[in-house]
Amino acid sequence: MMTKEDSKKDVKEFFNQVGWKLIDQSLYQNAQFEDLRPVSKEYIHRCHMRVNKHFSPKGRFFLDAGSGPVQYPEYLTYSENYHARVCMDISIVALQEARKRLGDHGRYVVGDIAHLPFKSDAFDGIVSLHTIHHVPMEDKLPAYEELYRTLTPGNSMVVVNGWTKAPLMTRLSPFMDFMKRLRAWWLRKVKKQPLKGAEASDKTAELSEASEAETRKPPEGTYVQKMTAAWLIQALEGRMDYEILVWRSVSVRFLRSVIYPDWGGRFWLKVLFLLEEIFPRLLGRIGQYPLVVVNKPAEENK
């Protein structure tokens, strides 16, 4: 059985040796867990940017807890009006890569999210993206409590992670399997129809993208232990003022199984994003990726 120390060592070694290694000029190995196809680009961008709505747009110090290399351009916007962004991560490689993007705007600290090496009330804004699901269950609540401790009163923090067995994705699993079979049948049928000239080149590129998404094996990863909405509600209730909203309601598996450029993929993702905006609390609890906003009351500043 893996101990808490073993799991942290596993996470650290994975990101130092594999996860934050570049596989081309701008793409990290860890990005293979994301759907980076052009058809999903706008939707993914808009999900990343919705984080900005939930903490102060400016301040002195901004904490990125489990920063990784700050790998997507949207992540840079979170702290652009702060004096400095403190990147804290268990991986030294992550911080070395983050420095390339942030330069002197950043401060770089190796640390454990469940035992933050910062004084209380230190940060005017905090974000933690896809980090707490890498810590053992016994450290998840301490991680939230440590983030809350270091947040300045009157401000907010944002935590994004994935649910285990998200109800919406469980319900849609048969639909995903059906769509994959339908797509495979459709591709075989289309490939039997000869195309000419530029049309053939365009269609080949399109089918190649779709086929790659369908046949790609899930990349090997590291220690992950997700939680349920019920667990988080029970853990946080009475300890801090929080709200569970939606960051992204669908998984990468859903996107790769259901969304295709030639089947109206961009349109359907616009519809999905609109639904997330209309029903953020419902889809935050039943969808794949919740956006947890924690507010620290100003009256705590005594």
The mean predicted confidence, pLDDT, of the chain is 84
Top-confidence residue, 6 or 81: 81
Give me the pLDDT at residue 34, please: 84
Average pLDDT of the segment spanning 44-48:
97
Look up the CATH number of the domain holding residue 236. Answer: 3.40.50.150
Q: Which of 39, 86, 49 is nearest to 67 (CA)?
A: 86
Residue 191: give the domain boundaries: 167-215
In this structure, the answer to whether residues 43 and 140 fall within a common structural domain is: yes
Residue 302 lies in a domain: no
pLDDT band at 5 (very low <50, low <70, confident <90, very high): low
CB 291 within 8 A of CB 284: yes
106 and 30 in one domain?
yes
- Whether residues 191 and 276 share a domain: the answer is no
For tokens 């911080």, the residue is 95
Cβ atoms 34, 218 nearer than 8 A: no
* Domain co-membership, 293 together with 184: no
The pLDDT tens digits for 184-228 are 888 887 766 444 443 344 344 444 444 444 434 444 555 566 789
Quick one: 177 and 143 in the same domain?
no
pLDDT at 14: 54
Task: Take residue 185 and report the two structure tokens written for it.
Answer: 């049948």
Could you tell me which residue, 35 or 205, shows the higher pLDDT? 35
- Report pLDDT for 177: 96
Between CA 8 and CA 4 the distance in angstroms is 6
pLDDT of amino acid 258: 96
Identify the three-state secondary structure at position 56: coil
**Residue 126 shares a structural domain with residue 231:** yes
| Contact by Cβ (8 Å): 158, 51 | yes
Sheet with 82-89: strands ordered across: 106-110, 82-89, 59-65, 125-129, 156-160, 289-295, 241-248
Q: Please report, rounded to a whole number, the percentage of residues in the chain having pLDDT higher than 70.
A: 77
- Strands 125-129 and 241-248, by their bridges, are unpaired
- DSSP 3-state assignment of 292? strand
User: Span 159-180, mean pLDDT?
Assistant: 95
Residue 30 lies in a domain: yes
Looking up tokens 């399997």 gives 177
Query: Of 215, 235, 250, at which residue does a domain stop?
Result: 215
Residues 63 and 197 reside in one and the same domain: no
Q: Looking at the domain assignment, is residue 182 inside a domain? A: yes
Please compute Rg for the chain using Cα positions: 20
How many angstroms separate the CA atoms of 126 and 158, rounded? 6
Please count the structural domains in the chain. Answer: 2
Give me the amino acid identity at 45.
H
One domain for residues 108 and 257:
yes
Q: What is the pLDDT of residue 201?
A: 41
Confidence band of 27 (pLDDT split at 50, 70, 90): low
pLDDT at 21 over 90: no
C-alpha distance across the termini of the chain, in Å: 45
**What percentage of the chain's residues is helix, strand, coil (to nearest 5)?**
55, 20, 30
130 shares its domain with 187: no
Q: Which residue among 181, 215, 249 closes a domain? A: 215
